[in-house]
């Protein structure tokens, strides 16, 4: 299922290899980092759980019906129908073939789902936003892996100037921001709003004050990469240590 304008991702080859080894692959990662589009490149059929409310009802009554289709079958946002998890595990056991399912999702699964692991049946890929190589802003001549392995001989010169590097950092590696540059700033604001108003409440089911959560994020951003030992007298330290209930 090739997508028009799809930027190849490093995870593409990782996903293909894992599908050769295990019955199912779970792709996890931040919202909007490209999990679904990457999964679609390898999938032969797809079920979008959020597309039809009846999918959630079917998952409660007979989840195996949702698994019917050409393989690899992509189940997108599976955590909205958590019964699918066990159905996939059992289907993998019965079929005894690799590359049957791909699961994608961003939300935090419920504890009862986490308790039923898919060890040996479902492998996992952690996907992140685009690197500069994936967004075609870097040639990839300098290997980060080589640098971490101790090879410090760098013979290439970056084609990006300082303003361009700063722009890429602030924009982030969200595929939509890369493909549609004019939407970069708006996308970042919308992403923040989603965290503040919805996602943070899903962690433990506690409703939190959006304004206070936004203040926390602002403080975190301001103090990023600062040693905690230097923050005793700052607002972020006060929020975490002395303000246990300040978010609610």
Using the predicted structure, report yes or no on whether residue 9 has a pLDDT greater than 90: yes
Strand-pairing partners, residue 25, are: 102, 123
Distances (CA, A) of 151 to 82, 142, 146: 45, 10, 5
What is the spatial distance between Cα 213 and Cα 248, in angstroms, rounded to a whole number? 9
User: Cα(41)–Cα(166) distance, rounded to whole angstroms?
Assistant: 31
Q: What is the DSSP letter of 72?
A: S
pLDDT confidence band for 2 (50 / 70 / 90): very low
Where along the chain do its domains lie? 11-127, 161-242
pLDDT tens track for 47-93: 999 888 888 888 888 889 999 999 999 999 998 888 999 999 999 99
Q: What is the pLDDT of residue 116?
A: 56
Give the per-residue pLDDT at 108: 52
Q: What's the pLDDT tens digit per position in 93-121?
A: 999 999 999 999 875 555 555 545 556 68
32-52 burial code (b ≥16 CB/10 A, e <16)? bbbbbbbbbbbbeebbebeee
Whether the CB-CB separation of 118 and 85 falls below 8 Å is answered with: yes
For 25-49, how does the pLDDT look when each residue is reduced to its tens digit (9 = 90+)? Answer: 999 998 899 999 999 999 999 999 9
How many angstroms separate the first and last alpha carbons of the chain? 44
Which CATH entry fits the domain spanning 11-127: 3.40.50.2300, 3.40.640.10, 3.40.50.300, 3.40.50.720? 3.40.50.300
Q: What is the pTM of this model?
A: 0.79
pLDDT in tens, 220-229: 888 776 665 5
In which residue are the tokens 């409440």 written?
201
Higher pLDDT, residue 187 or 23: 23
Can you give the pLDDT at residue 243? 46
- Are 143 and 33 in contact by the 8 Å Cβ rule? The answer is no
Q: How far is CA 213 from the centre of its chain?
A: 21
Q: Mean pLDDT throughout 148-159?
A: 76
Residue 1: band (very low, low, confident or very high) from pLDDT cuts 50, 70, 90: very low
Residue 242 has pLDDT above 50, yes or no: no
């Amino acid at each position: 299922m090739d997508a028009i304008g799809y930027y190849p991702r490093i995870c593409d080859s990782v996903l293909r290899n894992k599908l050769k080894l295990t019955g199912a692959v779970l792709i996890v990662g931040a919202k909007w980092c490209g999990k679904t589009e990457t999964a679609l490149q390898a999938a032969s059929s797809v079920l979008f759980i959020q597309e039809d409310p009846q999918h959630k009802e079917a998952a409660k009554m007979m989840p195996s019906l949702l698994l019917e289709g050409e393989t690899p079958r992509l189940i997108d946002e599976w955590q909205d129908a958590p019964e699918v998890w066990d159905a996939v595990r059992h289907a993998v056991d019965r079929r005894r073939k690799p590359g049957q399912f791909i699961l994608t999702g961003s939300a935090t699964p419920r504890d009862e789902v986490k308790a039923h692991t898919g060890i040996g049946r479902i492998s996992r890929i952690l996907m992140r936003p685009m690197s500069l190589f994936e967004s075609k802003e870097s040639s990839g001549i300098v290997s980060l892996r080589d640098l971490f392995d101790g090879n410090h001989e760098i013979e290439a010169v970056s084609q990006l100037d300082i303003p361009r590097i700063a722009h890429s950092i602030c924009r982030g590696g969200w595929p939509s921001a890369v493909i549609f540059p004019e939407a970069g700033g708006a996308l970042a604001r919308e992403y923040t709003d989603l965290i503040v108003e919805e996602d943070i409440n899903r962690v433990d089911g506690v409703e939190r004050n959006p304004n206070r959560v936004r203040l926390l994020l602002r403080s975190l951003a301001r103090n990023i990469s600062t040693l905690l030992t230097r923050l005793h007298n700052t607002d972020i330290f006060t929020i975490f240590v002395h303000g246990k209930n300040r978010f609610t």
